[in-house]
Amino acid sequence: MVAPYEGDTDGQTSTDITDSVYFALRPHAPNGLTMNTDIQMPWREQLAALDKAGNADQTIHALQIHAFANPADLELQYTLAERLRAQKRFADVDIVLAPLIRGPDEHWRFRALLLRAECWWDRGVIPAAEADISQAASIDPGSHWPVQALAELYGRTGRDDQRIPLIETHYNGLRPDGRAEIVKYASGLQAFWHYDQTRSTPSWRPRCPGRIPALVNAGMILLVKDEDDVIQQNLEHHHALGFRAFYILNNLSSDRTRSKIEAFRGSHADCFVALIDDPVQAHFQGQKMEIYATAFLKHAKLAGISIDWMFYIDADEFICFTGPDDASGIAAFNSVLSDPHKKLLVHHWIHSASTEPLSITPKNYDPFKLFSKFSGRLLPVVPKIAFRTGINLRPMEGNHFVPEFHYAYNDVVTMGLSDWYLAHFSLRSLEHTRKKVINGGKAFQNAQGLEAHGGHWRERYRLYQQHGETIIGQILVGHINSIRANQAEIVTPCKNLPPSSKDATSKTKDINEFHALSLDEAAETLPGISRIKVADTYSSERPELEFVTGAISDELMEEFRRERYVWPVSLFQINNAEVYGPWFEVGSLILRDDISFSCQELYQEGRSDKADLRLNACFNDHKIGARHYIDITDDCVLIATNGHATFGHWLIDFLPKIYLLARCGIALDRVKFLLPSDVGAWARDLLYIVGIEPNQIIDYDQNTTTPRCRNLIVPTLLRMSGRASPLLSDASRLLNSLVTSRLNYSVGEIPKRIYLARGQEHAWRKIENYEILEQTLVKEKFVLVRPETLSIANQIAMMRSADMIVGQHGSALHSTIFCDHPIRSCVLHENVSGWFAGLQAGIAERLDQKIGYVFGCTDFSQGVYRTKYNEDFVQLIR
């Protein structure tokens, strides 16, 4: 049963509901468990124990038993619904939440409505999600949660431009605690978007750009413990930035931290530096900051210093600027500090690391050079605050925000919008990591009342106590690997781009009146053509593969590493355009008047010999009545271009264009999609499963018909050869949310370890020893699957359930774009020069999937590539 989204059950009596809940909660005792043995332990304790064991099915079963025995425990019912949602058991979630939504307890009704809204948007039923969010808002209008939920829903449906206006509209109606939470969320969104737009610009470089005059009236408070490898750099950096008042709490440091602070104080007579020995080992950072900030103001006043702004900085945090090499950054920061209306400044972390693990840090190093591996994206989004003194603001635990904010929305400043961030040098060496684990673990261990905080330090300290020194290296290497990109740059891609347009003398005679023009240039110079630029050219080094084994040459690896670039991502709209093709060799040709448009982001030339021959043939066919035109007045999307008859191109090239449409504000249900008639039925199935109805498809024979479109929408690709745009991760999330509501499959028990087997009979890429390879993989508990024998829905279901996938490089593996959880892939690859662009690795990079490659020995004869693989590689995937 799925309840209607209005919140009631339309015609069901209370008895019906009770029976439904009874059957949803009634446990069936798998694995020999009984109700008596399960309910002996309180449910929260049993939940913690089962979570630690990592068995999700067992956890849900135990919660069902407790919920069945304790129907009045609303928190228990809600917790069960949360776990069922995580397993995508949406019908059961609806049943469990129904009594909460109709019950008298407003608190649990509010939370249940928001949880059900999340289930609706997981299924792609957006109106239902919006309705539940609206009901929740009516219960508690002062809460930020419904506003944030609706903003998240906008983001998932491509309405990013509406998220901040939505928050601004509702802000004044929120309570002070809700205002604080929603401006924290909005600030994070804006900083994230701006970082995405600027991270790859040529001038991007975290640094101190010079002195900010207004910081002379600001104070910086630090709580430090065993930070002698970075405290001097921190104080010198912020002094150069303009700070002159420092209040430093030394929490029982056992190294040279204290002496280095004293040395800084002795050499900077222009500064007020108060050094306080804090004897309380337990963490309690929030309480300490509140106490000592008050003391700081009074202490500084005795010295004749007025503190207008209070900055809460840790020893590993450096305020930095990433913008252009001019005075704009200093002017922007100074202006904010001098504006009496501004109350709260929000910086966001740029996560950073060294490129290789360091045993210790060298003396007198520059942290911006030593830890030069900076986040490619602003993830995770972590704020730190500074605020104007004298207005009754205080920091929360960790100094990440304030618990309440009573002021106007515009009184908060997101510093990232002016290219100001906090460089976060959190784990710097093996020596420092060891100190951090021990000190952090003990501090939180001794802090009563802070059990909900510092979970990662508690866990690291527990592992250190169990495993000793081996865990320290693992933590540091894990941190380095978690930083997803080195400093990016924009340069001219070194890949072989499509050849430039032919000159006038090389045009075939029948189309002499046509000339080529890039869509970029056309959007700037011609009426009726527009461009939305979603992302600039992106460049970065490739991340390392999990493993590479077999007969691979240095030449092939160099091919892989040269894949550094992704073209700009755009959406064009062209009035009165004609579409010829697509054809295998030349893709889709777009004409208007006497112009043939080129677009390198579609691998599309404006003119080439093959394209000219195709067009000339079309024109001749038209003269003799063998070709006709169809006029399309609806907005129409060119989705299929180069490679339109290949399944893999649809997965990685065409379906992600759905995301671009949504992101640019185009309603997916109000446009038509051009579809050449020679594609398989699977293309229509793919479009349907992401929400495109059959009546939205304009089917045409590209060999006889030319669509003439009043408004042609042309999204570009989200990848260039073997590298994918960072936007692919967002595209995958949107596609998966659209797919979920339409999945209808029946494949029985779905295997966790899959080998995507290709038919060898008519293949032009054969595995010479495929029978031995298949037998070896079966022994390793892999299940052999022929994807082409499954429906699209079953293929997606299979991918979503798998933990480990092995297959030849190509279309079948590209289905990992539908994996909604981290997986491992093992790619079998031919050893052929010019083939190793590594597109599957490009997909894995964006979807946080682990991937390795196995190369075989390849021979070529009679048009067939035959490759023999050493089956020993299975040792790497056990």
- Among residues 193, 202, 368, 355, the alpha carbon closest in space to that of 726 is found at 193
Residue pair 466/441 in contact (Cβ under 8 Å)? The answer is: no
Rounded to whole angstroms, how far apart are CA atoms 315 and 333?
21
Rounded to whole angstroms, how far apart are CA atoms 685 and 696?
13
- Name the token pair of 529: 């053509």
- Among residues 647, 662, 638, 631, the alpha carbon closest in space to that of 727 is found at 662
What pLDDT does residue 623 have? 77
Question: Do 130 and 44 reside in the same domain of the chain?
Answer: yes
Question: Do 434 and 513 reside in the same domain of the chain?
Answer: no
Q: Has this prediction a pTM greater than 0.75? A: no
All residue ranges of the chain with pLDDT < 70 are 1-40, 281-286, 441, 443-458, 484-513, 606, 741, 744-748, 762
Question: Do 750 and 721 reside in the same domain of the chain?
Answer: no
Q: Which residues is 276 bridged to in the sheet?
A: 249
Tally Cβ neighbours within 10 Å of residue 508. Answer: 15
State pLDDT tens for residues 400-457: 999 999 999 999 999 999 999 999 999 999 999 988 888 776 764 554 544 444 456 6
In a domain, 548, yes or no: no
In a domain, 42, yes or no: yes
Residue 539, Cα to own-chain centre: how many angstroms? 17
- Name the token pair of 324: 């252009």
Q: Count of alpha carbons within 13 Å of 221, Cβ hemisphere only?
A: 29
CATH of the domain at 847: 3.40.50
Question: Do 458 and 576 reside in the same domain of the chain?
Answer: no
Number of domains in the chain: 4
In a domain, 147, yes or no: no
What pLDDT does residue 484 have? 66
Question: Do 778 and 663 reside in the same domain of the chain?
Answer: no
Question: Do 509 and 478 reside in the same domain of the chain?
Answer: no
Q: What stretch of H or E contains 861?
A: strand 857-861
For 477, 547, 757, the CA distances from 767, given in Å and listed in that order, are 37, 21, 10
Rounded to whole angstroms, how far apart are CA atoms 227 and 293?
21
Q: Which residues is 827 bridged to in the sheet?
A: 807, 853
State pLDDT tens for residues 813-865: 999 999 888 899 999 999 988 889 899 999 999 999 999 999 999 998 888 89
Q: Do β-strands 420-424 and 317-321 pair in parallel, antiparallel, or remain unpaired?
A: antiparallel
Question: What is the three-class DSSP state of 225?
Answer: coil
Question: Do 395 and 477 reside in the same domain of the chain?
Answer: yes
Out of 725, 751, 769, a domain closes at 725
Q: Which residues is 352 bridged to in the sheet?
A: 374
Q: Which domain holds residue 43?
A: 14-140
Tally Cβ neighbours within 10 Å of residue 709. Answer: 28
- Name the token pair of 467: 């495993």
Q: Where are the alpha helices (DSSP H) in 758-829?
A: 770-779, 792-801
Out of 140, 161, 181, a domain closes at 140
In a domain, 2, yes or no: no
- Among residues 73, 87, 85, 81, the alpha carbon closest in space to that of 42 is found at 73
Tokens 């495109």 belong to residue:
692
What pLDDT does residue 673 have? 97
Q: Where are the alpha helices (DSSP H) in 339-422?
A: 367-370
Q: Do β-strands 753-756 and 783-785 pair in parallel, antiparallel, or remain unpaired?
A: parallel
Question: Do 270 and 405 reside in the same domain of the chain?
Answer: yes
What pLDDT does residue 461 have? 76
Question: Do 261 and 406 reside in the same domain of the chain?
Answer: yes
Return the axis-axis angle of helices 727-740 and 145-156, rounded to nearest 10°: 100
Q: Is the peptide bond before 582 cis (omega within 30 degrees of 0)?
A: yes
For 577, 633, 677, 715, 768, the CA distances from 630, given in Å and listed in that order, are 12, 10, 14, 22, 49
In a domain, 208, yes or no: no
Question: Do 19 and 47 reside in the same domain of the chain?
Answer: yes
In a domain, 207, yes or no: no
In a domain, 499, yes or no: no
Q: What stretch of H or E contains 131?
A: helix 126-139
What pLDDT does residue 323 have? 95
Residue pair 563/722 in contact (Cβ under 8 Å)? The answer is: yes
- Among residues 496, 515, 332, the alpha carbon closest in space to that of 414 is found at 332
Tally Cβ neighbours within 10 Å of residue 149. Answer: 22
Tokens 């949803």 belong to residue:
24
Question: Do 758 and 699 reside in the same domain of the chain?
Answer: no
CATH of the domain at 446: 3.90.550
Question: Do 714 and 747 reside in the same domain of the chain?
Answer: no
CATH of the domain at 66: 1.25.40.10
Out of 81, 115, 140, a domain closes at 140
In a domain, 627, yes or no: yes
What pLDDT does residue 507 have? 34
What pLDDT does residue 337 have? 98
